[in-house]
Amino acid sequence: MDAGTARTDAQAAFRQELRSFTKAHGTSQAVRALLDDPAGYDPAVWELMAKQLGLPGLIVSEEHGGSGAGAGEAVIALEELGATLLPSPFLATLLGTIAVIAAGDGGAAARILTAAAAGQQRLALAGADSGEVTAAVDADGGWRLTGEVPYVLDGAGASLILVIAGTALFAVAPGAAGLTVTALETLDLTRREARLSFDGVPAELVSDPGQDAWAGRVRSLAALDVAAGSLGVIRRCLEMATGYAKERTAFGRTIGSFQAVKHMCADMLVDLECTRAAVEHAAKVADRADESGPPGEAAAAALPAACSVAKAYASDAVVRAATTLIQVHGGLGFTWEHDAHLFYRRAFSDEQLFGDAAAHRAQLAAALVVPA
């Protein structure tokens, strides 16, 4: 068995373990029970995700107590969680972890990663998708942050906030002086977001002052991670639509036998497979970008485009899938009692998070322009 096959087998086993976990803990009843919960997730389930699955430390190196996995494993986890909408701080913590790994230097980064890998610290990343924060040195030689980030995943629930300010990454305690956290009412009821305002907030520099290329990598991987979650949503929408089409009867026939319904489900399948191809390709590029030498350098250069392709396609496809899910279910799909609206809400949230399709296609177009 070669290394590639072994890796594939390990990923398959990891996916199966995740699927069993989400089937047990991500039921419709469990998800709905958390819709109005201020925290937005079950701490007991999060603890199990840390102890049984090791998800908080999935991409953290073994040196810092993690699994040392890569983007390939991260997208598997996000797909499986997205397929059930299981609420958890995983995505927010993963984004913070990505930022610390990409930019971190010295003891501060090691301390953050070790605590996150053990499930003792829930991270949030501010400034990667919106807002503007500036950093300045105060009279005592410390750092102070000023500005606002209009929305941050798990911004009100994280135990440590990572803030991108220019080309530097800072760590801020949730109760720091000058920090105002405002919980937001969002379309997606399975996620929590907050607006963060910084007024001379004391912060700890986490990044290496000599590095400035890391922020672009973080934004690319953030887009990829959202696309991976969308992949799970598309898959579940297809499963729900085809399952219903096989059972619901009209005019003495199952509705799945009608050509119009067949075409809708077939289009969902095409979207699923194309999104999967784009997401898995981008994950492979991301993992190759970590290698040293010319191959790694080439992959690093190709990473922004690969992630933009994945996010652009996923943004459109997930909205189409969620809309089709409701259409197939007819009147039932519009009711509160059916879960279709939860996937519909997640789809439109995913579409906008870390850039919609138009934004990523514009980035791809700009990259193709050769200066005269």
Where does 3-117 sit in CATH, by number?
1.10.540.10
Report the candidate in 131, 161, 133 with the shortest Cα–Cα distance to residue 147: 133
- The CATH 1.20.140.10 domain(s) of the chain lie at 214-368
Q: What is the dihedral of CA 61, 217, 346, 46, to 10 degrees?
A: 20
Residues of the chain with pLDDT under 50: 1-4
Please check whether residue 113 is in contact with residue 63, taking contact to mean a CB–CB distance below 8 angstroms: no
Alpha-carbon distance 372 to 94, whole Å? 40
Alpha-carbon distance 176 to 236, whole Å? 41
- The CATH 2.40.110.10 domain(s) of the chain lie at 123-205
The Cα angle at residue 359 between residues 354 and 360, in degrees rounded to 5: 80
**Would you say the C-alpha torsion 105, 111, 114, 120 has a positive or negative sign?**
negative
pLDDT of residue 3: 46
Report the candidate in 98, 54, 61 with the shortest Cα–Cα distance to residue 77: 54
Alpha-carbon distance 366 to 75, whole Å? 27
Cut 0.75: pTM above it: yes
Pairing status of strand 132-137 against strand 249-250: unpaired
User: What does the block give as tokens for 230?
Assistant: 């969308």
The Cα angle at residue 115 between residues 111 and 121, in degrees rounded to 5: 125
Residues β-bridged to residue 198: 147, 179
- The CATH 1.10.540.10 domain(s) of the chain lie at 3-117
Alpha-carbon distance 284 to 19, whole Å? 22
Which three-class secondary structure state does DSSP give residue 134? Answer: strand
Q: Could you tell me how far CA 104 lies from the centroid of its own chain?
A: 20
Fold of the CATH domain 123-205:
Butyryl-CoA Dehydrogenase, subunit A; domain 2 (2.40.110)
User: What does the block give as tokens for 176?
Assistant: 């720091």
The Cα angle at residue 219 between residues 217 and 224, in degrees rounded to 5: 95
Strands (E), the chain: 123-126, 132-137, 143-153, 160-165, 168-172, 179-183, 193-205, 249-250, 253-254
pLDDT of residue 372: 61
Please check whether residue 156 is in contact with residue 192, taking contact to mean a CB–CB distance below 8 angstroms: yes
Domain spanning 214-368: which superfamily?
Answer: Butyryl-CoA Dehydrogenase, subunit A, domain 3 (1.20.140.10)
pLDDT of residue 209: 79
Alpha-carbon distance 13 to 162, whole Å? 32
Say which amino acid occupies 263.
Answer: H
Burial class (CB in 10 A: 0-12, 13-18, 19+), 197: middle
